[in-house]
A and B are shown apart, each in its own frame.
Chain A
Amino acid sequence: MKTRRIALTVNGETVEREVPVRQNLVDFLRHDLGFTGSHVGCEQGACGACTVVLDDQTVRGCLVLAVQADGATVETIEGVQLDDLRAAFHRLNALQCGFCTPGMLLSARELLRDNPNPSRQQIRDYLSGNFCRCTGYQAIVDAVETVALERLP
């Protein structure tokens, strides 16, 4: 099995590891580094459960190889400050089983960074790469909308 040594920054920590070249980023984060907050739901880039942030952009952790993250900065749900989004998700019950939630929060964070005042349909469209089987989405949209309004000056 071919391996390669990589060095990257994950949640502010510098890590160096020897990884199989076929290993994807989310498996590396989960199983080699123990950041199990990113989840694996489909391994084909459809469900969004493995969403992580790679050099300031959300990516599917299952569609990026660990070796592609060599030299990059990676953030996972464990490493981001999202107090207001988390509080709104909690208060409005915008999660049930919580399996999609890390990916959903990271996508919502990116949306609000790029579009601080989104319409409900813009929120729905932006989050349409993150499958949630439990909530029916409305509470998630409510939570993101609430935080957007709270953050407006």
Chain B
Amino acid sequence: MSIGAGVPRDRAKRLLGGRGRFVDDISMPRLLHLAFVRSPYAHARIEAIDCLAARALKGVVAVLTAAEISDAVASWRAEHKLFPTMAAPEQFALATDVVRWQGEAVAAVVAESRAVAEDGAELVAVAWAELPAVVDAKDALAPDAPRLHDHMDGNLAYTAEIAAGDTKAAFERAGHVAEEHFRFHRHTGVSLEPRGIIAEFEPSEDRLTVHQSHQTPHQQQDLYARLLGLPEHKVRVICPDVGGAFGLKHHLMADELVACVAAKLLARPIKYIADRLESFLADVHCRDHEVTARMAFSASGDILAIEVDDLFNAGAYGQYPRTSIAEGNQISRLTGAPYGHEHYRANLTMAFLNKSILGHIRSVGHPIACAVAERLIDLGAAKLGLDPIELRRRNYLHGDDFPRTSVGGIEFEYLSLRDCLDKALAMFDVPRFREKQAALRAKGVYQGLGIATFVELTAIGPEYYGEGGQHISAQETCQIRLEASGLVRCYTGATDQGQGIDTGVQQVVAATLGVPLEAVEVVSGDSALCPVGGGSWGSRGAALAGEAALRAAATLRRNVLSIAASLLQKDPADLDIRAGWVMEAATTHMSVAEIARIGHFQPYSIPDGIAADLTVVERYASKDRLFLAGNGIQLATIEVDVDSGIVTPLRHLVVHDCGRILNPMLVREQIRGGVVQGIGSALYEELRYDNGGHLLTGSFADYLVPMAGEMPDIDVAHIETPTATSQLGVKGAGEAGTAGAVGAILNAVNDAIAPLDATIAEVPVTPPRLLKALGRI
């Protein structure tokens, strides 16, 4: 059976040969290149734009500003009907009169090469009138703060409260209260391949063809059609090899839209590839939250109540089309979700301020929800004088608690929290570490152990964006064609950015149909060829596209067996397909290829009334549930150099439950990669701005990412609790590593420095922050 086997990915071979086909590898006749003039200010009025010198430069074909493109492209607002009071200011492809973040594009130079386009961009003279900027959410909400959007009373984008029970009374009767004020700084996705697009327009047909490094071709097809006023079936979005995405590449980006507009206006193919500085400045960002939270415990260690106040920001606008609310929404619903308690209050407040837009990047909000609760548990354990591991076990939801709708309003089918903990403890000898830790402390070496339990919301259901008014499919459809050769082509709406969903779908189809893996080819990432689907984000591919593939393969199998039974004069119930052959018990009758040949070329051999379709389509959409919840635990050990403030990860362990596992190797590698991204945000990665809203970390020299030398080996183990909501039983896995790593590392650092009477609640835990916490600077 190919399901459950750790088979390697077909696509990887081409990439290993250096024969990948990323967007910037594609060229075409008469291709033009785009470079942007971006605002050097975080907030400024555009008084005038002088493009004469740029237009006169040899090789420049056009210089476009908002004035030139306003008739060709519509504006948009990031609205969501589930959050009807959320402010959604109008956005434009190029800034019109005011820029609201450093890096916002005001003009686009189209030229015969990228180098000449950049030369031209330098010649565009913009007369700016700088305006006061706000770069901190608290400052942005002050009564006298400079306003970003004139039509609004202030900079409050959204505020909400989620409450269950009576937290006030619970805190009053609490034996102990743990409280902390957290700061999670802004970072971004940092795909190694920057965003990129090639747009071609055929005026005689009104046809737009886009090659784009993106996760969601159908979403982009819909957006480009609507914003450019084109019929949707005249727009085709192809996602070739994508060099990492991590959520960064499932939004509408204004600069990419400008490439489409330019292609339409000039009727020539236009390429735009973001450079690294543009990526740091103008990609969507994530996190940037200030969280105050407290947890009430009974005298014996039961969690009684949790209160969370999350203050964050959307950047200058809401992210389109998904909006910027999700991080705060997840934090307000998920904090403390693994634990049984009845009293809960969460307030979220989202401001606008003068930075790039906050989007959805791997594990949206989860790392913060996890880190906050897990830190409070450790603080509570210290107050209670209890072992933090036992305090967790005591409070985990378990057994009869399920199914359960959490106090944050999330439905949990089942969470295997105790099983994950037990497995982690079997893999890591905590008492031995504690002995070693104590011995090392005596020598002035400070090591720490941190644990984080996490719940991961995966495979979002259709209600969230369906009710929200977004044209984002949470349904997946799979088309399978049994070709005349007997080989199978499978078209999925999921997309593969290296995580391996193509291989997962291939395994499901091969196993369900009963053919060898190499008999199945998966086609993805093309909005014209593939059935409408959501692409890949939110840990959805295996659970949703996998289930659709299973259903389609089961239908094709039924049809193949119906034809075989008719030809053989047998009962289809007595027949089976194994390894590409129709079998009756141990007797081999005929090959699937033979049935394909007859089905396509001698269909007259098949009587009427037999289901003989060899191209089948099935779909899957979840019903009555917003998410499929996975869960897990991470355990990290680190060493703190108390003189330099450098934190070195030593060992990292993950035990995770994503239900049934299609491919253990690919799941393990997803988790490891996610952990390292989480370690990056815990220790290194930060988009720092000065008080005027100028980015200080616009290169890899200033924005640090994890490299091989600093990273630990990461052990991964699984508990498999299949979901009963689908036949396949899969829950998502792609974000699990990131969800728990920050909490585990933060707890480990605090464990290490506890003997020095120091604590830290600000990430990334950089050397200066840690030395400050230690009182060394």
Contacts and interface: CB of A to CB of B under 8 A. Distances in A.
Interface in A69-128: 76-78, 86, 89-93, 95-102, 105, 120-121, 123-125, 127-128
B499 A99 contact: no
A38 interface: yes
Given A47-B192, A130-B708, A136-B672, A95 B16 contact: yes
A3 interface: no
Given A47-B192, A97-B244, A133-B244, 13 more contacts: A77-B18, A78-B17, A92-B8, A93-B9, A95-B12, A96-B244, A99-B244, A128-B707, A131-B700, A133-B705, A136-B674, A137-B708, A138-B672
Interface in B5-23: 8-9, 11-13, 15-20, 22
B12 A136 contact: no
Interface of B: 8-9, 11-13, 15-20, 22, 24-25, 27, 115, 190-194, 241-246, 275-276, 497-500, 665-666, 669, 672-677, 699-701, 705-711, 713-714, 737
Lowest 4 A-B CB distances belong to which pairs?
A37-B18, A98-B15, A96-B498, A77-B18
Given A77-B17, A95-B498, A133 B677 contact: yes
Contact of A136 (B11, B15, B241, B675): B675
Contacts of A99: 20, 22, 191-193, 243-244
Contact of A98 (B191, B241, B665, B707): B241
Given A101-B16, A124-B711, A134 B276 contact: no
Interface residues of A, number: 56
Contact of B16 (A43, A46, A90, A132): A90
A135 B567 CA distance: 50
A22 B15 contact: no
A30 interface: yes
Given A77-B18, A131-B192, A140-B708, A98 B673 contact: no
Contact of A135 (B18, B115, B194, B673): B673
A39 B241 CA distance: 13
A36 interface: yes
Given A39-B243, A90-B8, A137 B18 contact: no
Contacts of B672: 135-136, 138-139
Contacts of B705: 131, 133
Contact of B676 (A92, A101, A137): A137
Given A86-B16, A93-B8, A93-B669, A133 B246 contact: yes
A20 B709 contact: no
A135 to B, nearest CB: 5
A136 B675 CA distance: 7
Nearest to A127: B708
A42 interface: yes
Contacts of B666: 93
Contacts of A100: 192
Given A97-B243, A136-B673, A124 B190 contact: no
Contacts of A137: 676, 706-708, 711
B707 A138 contact: no
Given A96-B244, A96-B499, A131 B16 contact: no
